[in-house]
């Protein structure tokens, strides 16, 4: 079985001379606090997938993909293997908080995400796997 390719975006900004990372809370509280991520579509380039996912999940349109931080293989809770690609993304102009309904369809259809920024990797607990490389951002 081939691993499922997933892209993860550490969307960052600088406020009050401190770096922040964008996270969101699902409308279903049991889903936990997450970073934007998604599945790479068949025949889709990895670098395009992260741009598409950020737009679909956050509504942000003006951002810069700084580059790939790292990639790994990870076993998810359902036992499937994910080939994960973590990107650093910067945005200059974004609200402190906002609500957004993802446009990608599928399981997220009809959900509302509440977006906000964190100042450190210890500020909030992200769902398993999402904070694995935050230390690359909050050095």
Average pLDDT over residues 29-54: 95
Q: What is the structure's pLDDT at 100?
A: 95
- pLDDT, tens digit (0-9, with 9 covering 90-100), for 7-38: 999 999 999 999 999 999 987 878 899 999 99
Q: How confident is the model at residue 53 (pLDDT cuts 50, 70, 90)?
A: very high
Q: What is the structure's pLDDT at 12?
A: 98
Decide: residue 59, CB within 10 A, 0-12 exposed, 13-18 middle, 19+ buried: middle
- Domain range for 19: 4-136
Q: What is the structure's pLDDT at 45?
A: 97
Task: Compute the CA torsion angle 7, 8, 14, 16 (nearest 10 deg).
Answer: 170
Residue 33, domain CATH = 3.90.79.10
CA dihedral for 54, 58, 62, 65, sign (positive or negative): negative
State how beta strands 113-118 and 97-100 pair.
antiparallel
Q: What is the structure's pLDDT at 116?
A: 98
Q: What is the structure's pLDDT at 60?
A: 97
Query: Is the per-residue pLDDT at 136 higher than 90?
Result: yes
- pLDDT, tens digit (0-9, with 9 covering 90-100), for 76-134: 989 999 999 999 999 989 999 999 999 887 777 788 999 999 999 888 999 999 999 99
- What is the total count of domains within the chain? 1
Which has the closest alpha carbon to 71: 121, 126, 6, 1? 6
């Amino acid at each position: 079985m081939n691993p499922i390719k997933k892209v993860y975006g550490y969307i960052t900004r600088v406020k009050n001379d401190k770096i922040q990372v964008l996270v969101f809370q699902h409308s279903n509280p049991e889903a936990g606090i997450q970073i934007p991520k998604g599945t790479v579509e068949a025949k889709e380039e990895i670098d395009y997938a992260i741009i598409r996912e950020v737009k679909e999940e956050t509504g942000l349109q003006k951002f810069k993909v700084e580059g790939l931080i790292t990639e790994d293989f990870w076993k998810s809770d359902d036992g499937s293997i994910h080939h994960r690609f973590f990107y650093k993304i910067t945005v200059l102009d974004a609200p402190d908080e906002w609500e957004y309904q993802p446009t990608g369809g599928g399981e997220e259809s009809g959900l509302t995400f509440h977006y906000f920024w964190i100042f450190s990797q210890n500020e909030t607990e992200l769902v398993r796997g999402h904070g694995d490389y935050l230390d690359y951002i909050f050095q």
